[in-house]
Amino acid sequence: MLNIVLFGPPGAGKGTQSEKIIAKYNLTHISTGDLFRKHLSEGTDLGKLAQKYMDEGKLVPDEVVIGMVDEKINSTTDTSGFILDGFPRTVPQAQALDKLMEAKGQPISGMIALEVPEDILKSRIKERGKTSGRTDDQDENKINTRIKVYLDETLPVASYYEKQGKLSKINGVGAINEIFDQISSVIDKY
């Protein structure tokens, strides 16, 4: 069982690399951003609740995110593992995930952190905004808020896994396939 946390700031390439990891290792993708956007488009109560946080580039409250991930993990059977993309984003989310996976006897294998300088992140997000239709990709203030939230609330999650000896850092700037090769060599050692 491979349970991988793919970590990094907005625009680091988590979505792009997740697709390649899923294809190679046959894992189940859990992107909390994608799950919220699905709820939003379907007009569910959860979507309505998440919308105001997403619109402002702020984090949806922990208990809401944790409940959604718990449900998704527990309802997925017959998988060789999970790739978690955009989750956990706070230390309490990481603690809840550990508890959940340990209860299933399937602990987190490791965290792979994509590192990208801030100026490149901003230009990548704006470029994505031209086609993603995401309003949070098109507004300078929202982009800045998301990067600030990442630095203040999410970065400590990397130290959380580092203390467990589970953190691997990868340079997220360069050709997509070269970055993927580095990710693969980390995964192959799990």
CB of 70 vs ligand AMP, minimal distance in Å: 13
Our answer to whether residue 14 is catalytic in this structure is yes
CB of 50 vs ligand AMP, minimal distance in Å: 6
CB of 159 vs ligand AMP, minimal distance in Å: 17
Contacts of 128 (CB under 8 A, 6+ apart): 11, 134, 137
Give the whole-angstrom CA distance, residue 131 versus residue 61: 28
Give the whole-angstrom CA distance, residue 80 versus residue 71: 18
Provide DSSP, 144-179: HHHHHHIIIIITHHHHHHHHTT-EEEEE--S-HHHH
Q: List residues binding ligand AMP (CB under 6 A).
A: 10, 32-33, 36, 53-54, 57-60, 65, 86-87, 89, 93, 136, 146
Residue type, 114: L
Which residue has the CB atom at the shortest distance from ligand AMP?
Answer: 33
Q: Which is nearer to ligand AMP, 10 or 172 (CB)?
A: 10
CB of 88 vs ligand AMP, minimal distance in Å: 6
Give the whole-angstrom CA distance, residue 18 versus residue 2: 13
Residue type, 137: D
Our answer to whether residue 128 is catalytic in this structure is yes
Question: Which residue out of 72, 134, 166, 169 is catalytically annotated?
Answer: 134
Our answer to whether residue 124 is catalytic in this structure is no
- Which residues are known catalytic residues? 14, 89, 128, 134, 146
